[in-house]
Amino acid sequence: MGCLGTASAQTEHAKTTVHPFHVPERALILSGDTARLNDKVYAVFYNTENLMFNDPSVPRFQFVDREGNTIFGVGGVAEGLVYYDFDGAINGSGFMTYNIPVPRNPAQVSQLGAGVSQSSIFMKLARATKVGVLSVYLQAEFSGGVSGHDFNLKQAYVSLAGFTAGLANTTFSDPAAGVPTVDPSGPPGSISGKNIQVGYHHQFNHNISGTLSVEMPQETMTYSSTTEAIKQRFPDIPVNIQYTWFSGSHIRAAAILRNMSYRNTAVGKNKSVTGWGVMLGGVASVYDTIDLLYQTGYGHGIGRYVHDLENNGFDLIPSADGGMEAPGSFSFTTGLRFKPSKRLLISGSYGYCRLYDAGTLGGDAYRRAGYGVVNAFYTPISDLQLGIEYLHGQRVNQDHSHGSANRIMAMVKYSF
């Protein structure tokens, strides 16, 4: 019996292989054996390629089954912001240049504010199946409701065998190319958005991948006395292709096709307008400690996806003939990210957004905006991050009147 027991133990030990990945020290494994982790499951669970700078990373509290084929994690972020506006002020914790008063409002020159809306709770699961690794992700922030601090679902999706279904980042974006900011809003020219979607991602080879998706439209239009809203009948269809190389650098090109409907009450008919857009973004590692981030886009009827135009009625606007048209827009964001040590990150960025063909909206309508930011982030201990930044923004209207604002922001964030 003793010999059989020894042989059995040796056989069991021989089946236990140490995966090539490193489990971070911050991870708290609550059950199971990390030595048995399925490599593919682990790779999916710890994949952070499609995250924006302010998105939570990998959950700290992790449950692993005894076979190492399933990982479930729970994590959260507690974040507090304090800010002071001077020489021009913007309502809200997000420094959104669209909201800069034009002309300058003497009663809104400076202000002190604070917020916790970026605090969030998230869960992630990765499980090995016969057709690939199943991944489930849920995230909610305290950023909803009238108070701005109500619990609000931000992402909820399932991925398997290249397919993703649920509420997730639009395929017409490049989250990894987003510049670092304390500001929860970000530059006016950022191309982003989260839609309910069904998409397929394919890895053509080690360097090249692509995604095609069908996404539920979230239109934002400005109506006139002869037009009104109707239910949308066509999905948004974005596609992207990405090339990645060994240094962590990548370049992504994306395009989107939209078909947006409205009713023309003057002629008593339902009408539709075609919108389209293109985007180019990426990250280029200049040295081991310096990264260049960039993103630019152009299109017609893509206001939903351009940060300063989002939710402000710029997908379709009134046309001179009494109908509606898709205005053009151009935007870009670029910045440098410098990391002199593991605990310190310094960055500087500039963003720009320009709206075309909007003369029918009047002289006080939005024309363009610019946004400059410099900041520093310091991590004194694991999971605790401090940040400070200076922001300057300017908005220009169709009649060329303009206003500006300045802000200093500070942040304390603990991730778990």
The residue count of the chain comes to 416
Asked if pLDDT for residue 19 goes beyond 60, the answer is: no
* Residues paired with 254 in a beta bridge: 240, 279
Cα 60 from Cα 77, distance rounded (Å): 11
pLDDT digits (tens, 9 = 90+) for 246-277: 778 999 999 999 999 999 999 999 999 999 99
pLDDT digits (tens, 9 = 90+) for 381-415: 999 999 999 999 999 999 999 999 999 999 999 99
**In the chain, where the domains are located:** 82-114+165-415
CA distances 268 to 222, 226, 324, Å, are 18, 9, 14
* Residues paired with 199 in a beta bridge: 164, 213
The CATH number that domain 82-114+165-415 falls under is 2.40.160
pLDDT digits (tens, 9 = 90+) for 303-330: 999 999 999 999 999 999 999 999 999 9
pLDDT digits (tens, 9 = 90+) for 191-247: 999 999 999 999 999 999 999 999 999 999 999 999 999 999 999 999 999 999 977
Q: Which pair of structure tokens corresponds to residue 198?
A: 């069904």
CA distances 133 to 36, 42, 205, 297, Å, are 16, 10, 19, 33
**Sign, Cα dihedral of 27, 33, 39, 40:** negative
Tokens 């056989």, located at residue: 11
> pTM for the whole thing?
0.89
Cα 13 from Cα 151, distance rounded (Å): 47
